[in-house]
Every structure is written in C-alpha cells, then in structure tokens.
Amino acid sequence: MSNASHSPKGGSAKTDTMTRRSILTTAAGLGAAAVAGPAAAQAAQASDEFTGKTAFVTGGARGIGYACAEALARGGANIVLFDIAEQIPEVPYPLASEADLASAKSKIDALGVGCIAIQGDVRDGAAQQAAVDRALAEFGSLDFAIANAGITQIGPLASFTDAEMSLVLDINLKGVIKTVQAVTPAMQEQNSGRIVLMSSVTGRTGSPNFPIYSASKWGVIGIAKSTAMALGQSNVICNAVCPTLVHTGLLDNSYILSNIVPGQTLTFEQFNEAAKSRHMLPVGLYEPSRVGDCVRFLCSESSAMISGDVVDIGAGANAQFPA
C-alpha cells in the first residue's frame, strides 16, 4: 500500500506543503495570540523549526515510530512512514496493520505537513531505497532518518531456533543497517542529516528474558557509533536512543504478559506496577510521546554537537549503570 499527498498540476508537493503549513501556522498563531498574547504567538512560531525538512521513519504506523513521526511533524517536517503493516506469521503478537498505517497518515496529514505512507519490510533493502528515492522526488530532501522498526521475543537463550534468531536479527539489526545504507548517499550529497537508531535499555544491559532482542539492540548501538564516525565529515549526525519500558503493542500483549514471569500470567496493571519498581522516577510504562520528544531534540539544532552517543530514556533506571 502506498499513499501520498499530491500537488495540483503545475505545483510541487514541497511548495504546496509549505504553503499549507504556513496558512495553518499563521491561523494557529493568530488564534493563540488573541487568547494568550504575544508569548503564545512566539510558541506557535517555534513549532516551525523543521519546516521544509523531511523525515523517514521505519515502523511508523504506531507506537514509538508514530510518536517520533508526530513529534517531527509538529515541528513542521514532512513525513515518510515506512511500515510492514501486516502480520509476520512467526511473530507471536499483533503487529501494525494497514488500518494503523492509514490512520497514522491521516493524523500526520491533519498537522498540515506532507506525508507519504509506504507499506514495506525493512528486511528489503531495495524497498527502503525506493522509499527514500520517493521522498527525495516528492519533498526535495531527506534530513532525518529514524530507524525504529523492530520486533521482540521472550524466553531463555537455549529455547530459540535458528529461524527465530534470524528473524529478530534480520529485522532489528540488519533492517537498521539497511536503513542507514538507504539514507546515507542523499545525506552525504546534502552534506547534512540526522540519523536516530532505536536501541533499548537491553542494548545497555544483559537480559535473560530477551537475549536475542538484547543482542540485536547492542548491535544497533555499534552501528550508531560506526555511522557517526563514518559520516561525521559529511556533517551527518547519528545517535542511538535507549528507552526502557514503553506502553506500546510490543509489550502490552498476551504473549509478553503470559511469559514475562515464568509460570504466571500478569495483567497489564501488574506489569505496570513491576515497571515502577524498575524506574527511579514514579512511573510505570510511559507513553511513546516521551521517546518522540527525545528524538525531536536529537534532530534539532540544540543537539548539533551530539553524535555517536547513546541517549537513555530510562526514567532514572540508567542511574544504576556504571558511569
């Protein structure tokens, strides 16, 4: 499935998107100023920091991927949502659907920016490259890449078959590598770009419950650091982000709840209470928007000197790590 915002004959998608964004922002600014004065108008203007830029987001139909896309769209960026949007038979919990991808596009469209929704598999490097090429053709640049698509599995290390291990590594690690490969030429040609790779707290510590997932997320950190070194002279920044326990479909499902504690099935409320004990701050599973906010910061000028780093979104859990 592929949906795009199209421009009238004689115009361009990029020009029309910027015009629409300008109209909506002006209206919002005027309305806010009428209610709350000049400070509100300044706040509305500040939301245009990414106007004219484009973000490519994998796994963008829901959860953390959608939250990242929305955060960047609220800053004015055009968005390319890339998501498999169908069930992989070997994954034992529900993945995003075509309806989720269509809903995500509709919500991004409502923010007044351009949005392309593409159904595709990150294991397919050619499909990712085609999506990047389409973004460049329709929006004129590729400024941000958020490699977020991933799956999980739970169980002791000895329990996984070769096929099960390959599935996680092919999506979580090789899929991320293929995203970086797809966006690198355009960013090098532009001499600018931001790449954010979605790792995990399990990419910073071991995990007896998620050993293959953990290994894949450690690998993502290695790719982030290697990419930052390789592309730094092209003014391309790359970082990894490590959330802890986020309230998404990846964790809130019967597969996880029935296996997270051997021999016991938890309710979501019990899982949430356990998450609170993991965090130093008084929160359980937090909302994906918290990750989106961090990714928006890493794409902003405020983070221009941060590259090759690992940013924990741990609600204080990372206070337990070695310095």
Q: What is the domain partition of the chain in residue ranges?
A: 49-316
pLDDT score for 46: 39
Residue 42 has pLDDT above 80, yes or no: no
Residue 1 has pLDDT above 90, yes or no: no
Read off the pLDDT of each residue in 51-68 and give the average, rounded to a whole number. 98
**Residue 66 bears catalytic tag:** no
Residue 309 has pLDDT above 80, yes or no: yes
Read off the pLDDT of each residue in 160-177 and give the average, rounded to a whole number. 98
pTM for the model stands at: 0.86
When comparing pLDDT for 43 and 115, which is higher?
115
pLDDT score for 8: 32
Active-site residue identified among 66, 93, 213, 286: 213
Residue 48's pLDDT band (cuts 50, 70, 90): very high
The mean of the pLDDT values for the chain is: 89
Give the 3-state DSSP-derived string for the chain, with helices as H, strands as E and coil as C. CEEECCCCCCCCHHHHHHHHHHHHHHHHHHHHHHHHCHHHHHHHHHCCCCCCCEEEEECCCCHHHHHHHHHHHHCCCEEEEEECCCCCCCCCCCCCCHHHHHHHHHHHHCCCCCEEEEECCCCCHHHHHHHHHHHHHHHCCCCEEEECCCCCCCCCHHHCCHHHHHHHHHHHHHHHHHHHHHHHHHHHHHCCEEEEEECCHHHCCCCCCCHHHHHHHHHHHHHHHHHHHHHHHHCEEEEEEEECCECCCCCCCHHHHCCCECCECCCHHHHHHHHHHHCCCCCCCECCHHHHHHHHHHCCHHHCCCCCCEEEECCCHHHHCCC
Residue 47's pLDDT band (cuts 50, 70, 90): confident
pLDDT score for 323: 78
Least confident of 8-22, 137-151, 282-296: 8-22
Residue 113 has pLDDT above 70, yes or no: yes
Residue 5's pLDDT band (cuts 50, 70, 90): very low
Read off the pLDDT of each residue in 100-109 and give the average, rounded to a whole number. 98
Residue 11 has pLDDT above 60, yes or no: no
What topology does CATH give the domain 49-316? Rossmann fold (3.40.50)
Tens of pLDDT, residue by residue over 235-291, are 999 999 999 999 999 999 999 999 999 899 999 999 999 999 999 999 999 999 999
Share of the chain above pLDDT 90, in %: 84
